[in-house]
Structure 1
Amino acid sequence: MSNMISADQLAQLRDDTPGLNSGVHLNHAGASLMPQAALQAIHAHLDLEAQVGPMEAGLLVADKLQDLRKHAAQLINAQADEIALMTSGSSAFGSMFAAMPRLNKGERILVGRQEWGGNLANYQRAALAAGASVETIHCHVDGSVNAHALANMIDSRVRLISLTWLPANSGLINDAAAVGKVAAAAGVPYIIDAGQALGQVPVDVQTLQCDVLKSAGRKHLRGPRGTALLYVRRTFLQQLEPAWVDVSSAPISTDAVHLRDDARRFETSEAAVALQLGLAESIKLALEWGVDQLGQVSAGLASACRTRLARMPGITLHDLGDLSDLGIGPQSGIVAFNLRGHDAMALKNKLAQQLIYIGANGIPYTPLDMQARGLHSIARASFSYLNTVDDVEKLARALEQLA
């Protein structure tokens, strides 16, 4: 593909997305719209299951599932045996974290200020039980993680570094590679939550130097809900003992239990194969068109939206990460804002009545950052290359009417 996607190519992508006929979808950070190819793959496999039986159908597409792992690995510059197919970002993270050795008293987990609430809850529970601590890495003035400050926090008690790369409550893009350099130099395991990154920005786990990366498939990657990817670096895998296994992840022979020596030790023998085949089509689309090019379109639309909303009375923007005068940026396809006099959750519902679909986040999603900024909730318009400048204007006009 060329470095720029043409208007005709974008029109083709939109034509291949049936959901665009149902309103203005601005919640791609929550769950995007599947392409026609993914829908067809899901339907075709369900038909096959109905004809020959689910077990038999699964055997017939085993090669396609292995191709899915290969393509997922290609998407993030990993090896196929470092990829596990999971059902959600939370299940991917939870299975991996439960497999890590227990914390000891006095040990420390260092997290970015925008750490996803689900990850943070697991860290805090484990730390409380062990007498360990969870500490927040200091930020730059734009709110992004400060890798230099992180380096100064490292000591022999640091057990883990964790970063939510693109937070759910702003347009910030953290410098995940800079954090990776610090973690690698210190020999500390490094986990990245790439839920908002995968499908929106290029992901290269070698450059990031992370040991674990996880993401749901339903967001900017445009896969079906109920799918996720878990990457575990092969050299880190040997430190992980799954909290539980089944006949797929640890088959029993006549003499012993054999734990798989690849990331599939976190998979189970039971899976929604139809959904995985849908995810395979979404990943193929991302590889074909290029995540960098697609992400530039969504980031441009988000920037246009920020500019439009900034001129409107009653709107307060809550995005982080854009201090261009200091050389900091750019921002992602998420636009966080509030409309004076309107609760974010209620605003989301009011816009949905006009067939304009946005998201809304409360404190539990990004508790450290929300509390640090004194925010109770935010409304969130998240853009994809599927959107247009007309969608920006429809959102702005609807907000003006509500204001």
Structure 2
Amino acid sequence: MLDIDELRADTPGCRNVLHFNNAGASLMPKPVFDALQRVLRDENEVGGYEAEQRAQDDIQAFYTEFAALLNAEPDEIAFVENATRAWDMAFYGLHLKPGDRVITHGSEYASNYLALLQQSRRLGFEIDLVPSDATGQIDVAALEDMITPQTRLIAITHVPTQGGLVNPAAEIGRVARKHNVLYLLDACQSVGQIDVDVAEIGCDILSGTGRKFLRGPRGTGFLYVRCGILDQIDPPFIDLHSAQWTGTDSFEFAAGAKRFENWESYVAGRVGLMEAVRYARHLGLANIEARVTQLAQDLRVALSEVGGVHVHDLGQRKCGIVTFTKDGIAPKALADALRADGINVSVSPITCARLDLEARNLQSLTRASVHYFNTADEIERFVDSVKRA
């Protein structure tokens, strides 16, 4: 249902590299690059504030496009400079206290877990790790058994940085709603490759980035906060955009999720990210998810047939991220060899996912991440290059 030749023609980078690094930063399609350049050109020619005025329609469309993408309301969406800061703006504003408990999982991303550790040290709450089931995903039954009257938050990563695992977000959401526990979902690696519906998932807060599977610019991110829980979060810092100075000793938060934004932001990036969302919605997230999932599974099968190569993805459901090792060559050296062959991949080191990789006795993994514009021919070329490395 996707015209791959047309999509590749829309992606100039396809002519230069074999790009299997979409979980790092994807290649921007031409309409996104053009939108970005249009604002930057206006900033250069007429001034920054004036360029922002010219872009007002696109800036407002950021909220409506994201709302449509996530099945949310426009006033539940905020633009934030990156996914980690979006997650932080919500998490650091929660009223956690000594004796409270926060549940997370061993697949959690380093930045999130570091924040949990820091706030646990500051505020005195306890961190509980839910076990995995036999497939490696979150054990939902065990999660429910762990909830106590002191449990205040479930903080989960939908798709971990270090593998193809897709955690059962909607099942977790049903448990959170049943027990009236706040649910924070890191969707940094899922939005753009998976059809994500916040109403179906049941999360209260969701954070994500622009540069990965949404194919937007770097330096862009977004935050969804359900309107019904806004009063339970005190933004960790505010300015004259996120709040109004109503009197000498008084202020009021901005309406909706805009209270988590800053006045100064990357206007061109915001417009570019809006265009990336519009582009993805035009293609259809269900179509994108189906193709990405199939390409990744084809890549796993092909790699598994290569002697000395070990695929390490966990989970009952898997996505477009494929992680593996090859006997006799370190993941970084393998990534360097592939790059010399015109192929882009990443490396997932233990410092990005210590709880998971340490438990599996893995120091690092080579990470290949496909997108809908990739092809079967590229998978074949990639596997041949891995064989030769």
What is the aligned partner in structure 2 of residue 135 from structure 1?
A: 128
Give CA-to-partner distance per residue, 1:231-252, whole Å, 9 cap, x none. 0000111111112111111121
What is the aligned partner in structure 2 of residue 120 from structure 1?
A: 113
Please tell me whether residue 218 in structure 1 is matched to residue 218 in structure 2. Answer: no
Give CA-to-partner distance per residue, 1:243-283, whole Å, 9 cap, x none. 21111111213453121121011111101111111111110
d(CA) in 2 for partners of 1:145, 1:304:
25
Aligned residue type for 2:323: A
What is the aligned partner in structure 1 of residue 319 from structure 2?
A: 332
Corresponding residue to 2:282 among 271, 282, 288? 288
SS of equivalent residue, structure 2 residue 243: coil
**Cα distance, 1:374 vs structure 2:** 1.4
**Cα distance, 1:131 vs structure 2:** 3.0
Pairs within 5 Å for 1:234-383:
234-254=227-247, 256-321=250-315, 328-329=316-317, 331-383=318-370
Give CA-to-partner distance per residue, 1:154-207, whole Å, 9 cap, x none. 101112101111111111111100000001111110000101110111111111
Aligned residue type for 2:276: S
Q: How has the CA–CA distance of structure 1 residues 105 and 71 changed in structure 2, closer, same or farther, with 3 Å as cutoff?
A: same
Say whether the 8 Å CA contact 1:29–1:382 is kept in structure 2. Answer: yes
Give CA-to-partner distance per residue, 1:349-370, whole Å, 9 cap, x none. 1211111111110112222111
What is the aligned partner in structure 1 of residue 138 from structure 2?
A: 145
Corresponding residue to 1:96 among 76, 90, 98? 90
SS of equivalent residue, structure 2 residue 78: strand
**Cα distance, 1:121 vs structure 2:** 0.6
Please tell me whether residue 182 in structure 1 is matched to residue 198 in structure 2. Answer: no
d(CA) in 2 for partners of 1:302, 1:349:
21
d(CA) in 1 for partners of 2:121, 2:114:
11
Give CA-to-partner distance per residue, 1:116-150, whole Å, 9 cap, x none. 11101101111123332212111110101111111
d(CA) in 1 for partners of 2:156, 2:93:
19
d(CA) in 2 for partners of 1:349, 1:159:
44
Please tell me whether residue 199 in structure 1 is matched to residue 184 in structure 2. Answer: no
What is the aligned partner in structure 2 of residue 325 from structure 1?
A: none
SS of equivalent residue, structure 1 residue 245: coil
d(CA) in 1 for partners of 2:361, 2:20:
25
TM-score under structure 2 normalisation? 0.97
Aligned residue type for 1:123: L
SS of equivalent residue, structure 1 residue 341: coil
What is the aligned partner in structure 2 of residue 51 from structure 1?
A: 45
**Cα distance, 1:21 vs structure 2:** 1.4
d(CA) in 1 for partners of 2:169, 2:355:
18
Give CA-to-partner distance per residue, 1:267-310, whole Å, 9 cap, x none. 11101111111111110111111111112111111111111111
Corresponding residue to 2:70 among 63, 70, 76? 76
Aligned residue type for 2:365: I
Say whether the 8 Å CA contact 1:295–1:384 is kept in structure 2. Answer: no
SS of equivalent residue, structure 2 residue 377: helix
Please tell me whether residue 227 in structure 1 is matched to residue 251 in structure 2. Answer: no
Say whether the 8 Å CA contact 1:89–1:215 is kept in structure 2. Answer: yes
Give CA-to-partner distance per residue, 1:24-80, whole Å, 9 cap, x none. 000001110001001111111111112221011112222211111110011000000
**Which is further off, 173-182 or 120-129?**
120-129
SS of equivalent residue, structure 1 residue 381: strand
Pairs within 5 Å for 1:11-26:
11-26=5-20
**Which is further off, 213-222 or 43-52?**
43-52
SS of equivalent residue, structure 2 residue 274: helix
Aligned residue type for 2:225: V
Corresponding residue to 1:37 among 31, 38, 50? 31
Give CA-to-partner distance per residue, 1:56-112, whole Å, 9 cap, x none. 1112222211111110011000000000001100110111112111x3222211002
**Which is further off, 122-131 or 180-189?**
122-131
What is the aligned partner in structure 1 of residue 147 from structure 2?
A: 154
TM-score under structure 1 normalisation? 0.94
Corresponding residue to 1:392 among 375, 379, 385? 379
Say whether the 8 Å CA contact 1:124–1:133 is kept in structure 2. Answer: no
What is the aligned partner in structure 2 of residue 169 from structure 1?
A: 162
Deviation beyond 6 Å, 4+ runs, structure 1 = none
SS of equivalent residue, structure 1 residue 100: coil
**Percentage of matched positions with identical amino acids:** 35
RMSD: 1.1
